[in-house]
Amino acid sequence: MHWQFVLHSSGSWTWRRLAGDGSIDQASPLHDDYGRAVTAAVENGFRPAIHRWTVHTAQSITQYAPGCMPIKSDLQGNVIQRPIKRVLNLQAVLSAAPARNANPPEQQHESQR
């Protein structure tokens, strides 16, 4: 199963669930923004932590796969943004400085929501 999120020229977004053969299994109506499209997809079974998904705009396609960094390409398939090889672990940096870190990690995570 693969999910697509598509930005239309009107500025609206849709989602599509594709079958294994690439055919469209289910598609949504237009949504005002990307967040609403993703929320509606989740309500219809989308699980970003386990499903492959792509975001399509007029200029690019970004591919997401569980456990992998996203890869952005132009419409011809040329990679225009490679995954970052080293990701800064902000939590590790913050926990190394206890004087600046007055809140436990659980509260820090909650305050970022």
Instruction: Reply yes or no on whether the pLDDT at 111 is more than 70.
Output: no
Give the β-pairing of 52-56 and 79-81: unpaired
Instruction: Reply yes or no on whether the pLDDT at 17 is more than 70.
Output: yes
pLDDT, mean over the chain: 81
pLDDT tens sequence across 45-78:
999 999 999 999 999 999 999 888 889 999 998 9
Note whether 74 and 80 are within 8 A (CB): yes
Residue 51 has a pLDDT of 94
> What are the beta bridge partners of residue 62?
55, 72
Residue 1 has a pLDDT of 85
Note whether 4 and 54 are within 8 A (CB): yes
Residue 10 has a pLDDT of 96
Describe the strand order of the beta sheet including 13-18 as a list of residue ranges.
24-27, 13-18, 2-7, 52-56, 60-64, 71-74, 79-81
